[in-house]
């Protein structure tokens, strides 16, 4: 009963224009970490910034951002580079079905990319990457 009394002070944000992918990501992260973190989703970079701003206002730190590479308006590497400029401590992970190597290299340089996960990924791989990232 008392589990909702302590609000997590940190969040993991998943950004992908495909709702089913967000659903799977959120489920897998919840299975891995339970109530340790808040899990937020956004279907575009624009929506992600709104979520980030809201979390910041509530005093909740965004620990990790997963972003799809191929999204409308702005590619994942550009979005994560912008995140890194504003929040250098956020761990960035790019999800991709088809990112080119140049985009991944750019994200490594400009967004301090922690990892690139290729779709379809395994839940084990996801948990492993996140655990390593959070233990840094």
Contacts of 126 (CB under 8 A, 6+ apart): 25, 28, 29, 32, 117
Q: How far is CA 18 from the centre of its chain?
A: 14
2 occurs within a structural domain: no
Q: For residue range 7-33, list pLDDT tens digits in order.
A: 779 999 999 999 999 999 999 999 999
CATH of residue 39's domain is: 3.40.50.2300
Range of the domain at 58: 9-131
Q: For residue range 33-83, list pLDDT tens digits in order.
A: 999 999 999 999 999 999 999 999 999 999 999 999 999 899 999 999 999
State pTM to two decimals: 0.92
Structural domain total, the chain: 1
């Amino acid at each position: 009963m008392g589990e909702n009394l302590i609000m997590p002070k940190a969040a993991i944000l998943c950004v992908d224009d495909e709702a089913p992918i967000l659903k799977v990501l959120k489920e897998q992260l919840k299975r891995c970490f339970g109530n340790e973190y808040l899990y937020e989703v956004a279907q575009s970079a624009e929506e992600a910034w709104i979520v980030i701003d809201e979390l910041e206002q509530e005093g909740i730190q965004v620990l990790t951002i997963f972003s799809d590479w191929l999204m409308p308006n702005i590619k994942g590497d550009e979005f994560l580079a912008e995140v890194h400029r504003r929040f250098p401590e956020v761990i960035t992970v790019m999800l991709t079905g088809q990112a080119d190597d140049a985009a991944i290299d750019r994200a490594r340089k400009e967004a301090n990319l922690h990892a690139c996960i290729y779709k379809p990924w395994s839940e084990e791989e996801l948990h492993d990457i996140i655990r390593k990232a959070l233990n840094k």
